[in-house]
Amino acid sequence: MCRLLAYFGSPVSLEPLLYKPEHSLIIQSYQPREMLSGVVNADGFGVGWYHLQKDIEPFIYKNTLPIWNDINLPSLSRYVESKCILAYIRSATPGQALDFSNSQPFQYQNLLFIHNGRINKFRQTLYRPIRNQLNDEIYQWLGGTTDSEHIFALVLSQWQANPGKSLEQALHATLLQLTEMAQSYQTYVYANLVISDGDRLVASRFGTKSPVPSLYWTANDSNFPNAAIIASEPLFAGNWNSCPENSIISIGKDCDIRIEQI
């Protein structure tokens, strides 16, 4: 079912996010507490971040190794510093290839995307219908075969078809579209995801059936002042808030939190 986290706020290195918390992503990779399916997240990981000064496309470091086996990540985590970080550990759906094209975060121009959840029986149900909804540019952009990347592609097509829409509106429309498609093809969707352009986070806790996978947020914690964090599971003891089921969560430049029901 995978685990994710997203950080936005005062610049911080990767180390205090990935390694220092008592229930960090490293720990969650082999000892998660709230996964609905699976027992470990050993099928790779990825981290994406934005440059502190330059307005350029984000950076990504990913591997198909378990996060605890990557010998380069500890050093990289002490070096990389950013105000906007997305990280992810993978528990691959049976049948999906364990390769870099299927590893998150996914990137399109200045956008980063991570997803925890699944489309049940994706290849047999929504794989072709989703691809039929994509514009040609996004169809050609697709590089992998996961349901996660296809959900991102659907958001991108919605956004490009309605350039006046915000990311929140494009995401809202996509989740409604997925709901209709899931009903038509008698399947279900879990879509806990985060999208960022480097200046904000837009996330959802969403499912077409209950229980919806866990998702939490915290802001201005003493460990991370002037910042907000979204995570599949709380990273440390503190004032963590469970995101409402079927909601969109937005974190803006001043780390203000907005939550809207879908």
pLDDT digits (tens, 9 = 90+) for 183-218: 999 999 999 999 999 999 999 999 999 999 999 999
CA distance linking residue 18 with residue 235, whole number of Å: 9
260 strand-pairing partners:
248
Inter-axis angle of helices 167-184 and 147-161, nearest 10: 120
Answer yes or no: are the C-beta atoms of 66 and 92 closer than 8 Å: no
pLDDT digits (tens, 9 = 90+) for 29-73: 998 888 777 778 778 899 999 999 999 999 999 999 999 999 999
Q: Is 48 exposed, middle or buried (0-12, 13-18, 19+ CB in 10 A)?
A: buried
Answer yes or no: are the C-beta atoms of 221 and 205 closer than 8 Å: no
Q: CA torsion sign, 60 to 248 to 19 to 8?
A: positive
103 strand-pairing partners:
none
pLDDT digits (tens, 9 = 90+) for 66-122: 999 999 999 999 999 999 999 999 877 766 767 888 999 999 999 999 999 999 999
pLDDT score at 219: 96
Position 1 confidence tier, pLDDT thresholds 50, 70, 90 = low
Catalytic residue among 2, 84, 243, 255: 2
Answer yes or no: are the C-beta atoms of 220 and 192 closer than 8 Å: no
- Note if 84 is an active site residue: no
pLDDT score at 234: 96
Provide the percentage of residues in the chain whose pLDDT is more than 90.
Answer: 87
107 strand-pairing partners:
112
